[in-house]
Structure 1
C-alpha cells in the first residue's frame, strides 16, 4: 500500500511536470524504490513458504515461526535499502550544490541522472529477478511432483506459485518500459501520456493488486465471510427500500 500510494503521487507529479524541491522528491523517490525492490523478494519468499507447507509439512510449524518471519522481513528491507541508498550517496558526491537546491521534475532520471546508476540498477534488478525466477521454478516443480499424490492443498499451492510467476512477470515489464510505451503509441494509437498511464497500471498497480487476490479472495474462509456480509448488506438495502 505504501508503494502504490507513493507511486501514484510520483506519477501524478511527473505526469503534470510539476517541480518540487530535491529533498522532498528524494524522500518520496527512495521510499518508492525501497518498496518496489521488496516486491519480487516478497514473492520469492512466499513461494518458499508454499513449498515448505506442501513438501515439508511436518517441519512447517518449526521453520515458519513468527520470529523467523519478522527476521526475514527485516532482511528483505535491508537488502532493498542497500540496493537503493547508493544512488543518493553517488548523486550527493558527484552533483554540484546548485543541483540539490533547485526544484525539478520528480522523476528518477532527473533526481539520479548519472548513467552509472542506471547500469547499476539494471544489474541489481537482473540479479534479483534471476534469483526469484529460479526460486519460483524450483518450488513450482517440487510442488508439482508432490501434487501427483492428488492432495487438494498441493494443487492450491501449485496454483499460488503460478500466480506468483505471473506477478513477477508483470514486475519485469518495467525493464522494457520504453519499448512498451512505444508499442502503445504506435499500435494502439495512444498519446504519449496515455501510453504512460497504461504502462503505469500494468507495471506498478496490477502486480500489487494480485496479492489480495492470491491470499484473500482465493481463501475459502475469507470468501465465505465476504459473501455472507455482502449478502447481508444487499438484503438490508432491499428491506430498507
Structure 2
C-alpha cells in the first residue's frame, strides 16, 4: 500500500467528515469513503447493536443490508461479534468466506449465497464508548491483506472523531431549538395573560409536571395553539 498517498487521502477525508451537517451524513460519508479508499472493498456498512438487536446505520453497496439482517436474525456473524466486542477483539479479518467458518456456521453458508468472498470489520467508538462496527466486504476471497489492519484503524479513528463531533453539534443544535421554542411560548403567555417572565416559565413547568410531558413539548403545544388562534389555559 502507498501509505503516503493514503495519509493524504485521510487528511482530505477528515475535512470532508467534519463538513457534514448531521450524524447520518457523517455515517454515510464514512461508508462511502471505505469503498473508495480501501483497495478491494466492494461494499461497506456501519452496524450497531442495541439491546441485543442489530441496527444498520449506513450502507454503501449491495449485500450489506442483507448481511446485517441475517446476522441479527441468526444471532451470529463477524459483524455482529465486532459490534458486541466479543472477547475484546477490535478487528476481524476473514480471508476466504467461501470456506466453512466454525464460529458462524449458519451465517457463513448464507454469506456464500450473497456472494461475499472476504470481510473485515473494525470497531467504531466515540468518547471511549463502543458505537458499533465499520464492516468491509469484497466479492473476491483474499481481497484484504495484512495492510488492512492499519488502513482500517486509520479510517475508523477518523470516523470516530467525526462522529463524536457530529453528535456534539446535533445535541447543541437541539438544545438551541428547545430553548428558542420555550422562549417563544413564554412570550405568548406573557402577552396573552400579562405574566412576568418568571410566571410564564412557572406555568410551562407546572403543565409539564401535571401532564408528565417534556417542557419542550408543552412549549410546542402553546406555540401551535397560538398559530391556530385557539385559547391556552
Bigger share in helix: 1
Superposition TM-score, scaled by structure 1 size = 0.22
Which protein shows a greater Rg? Answer: 2
Superposition TM-score, scaled by structure 2 size = 0.23
Bigger share in strand: 2
Larger RCO (CA under 8 A, 6+ residues apart): 1
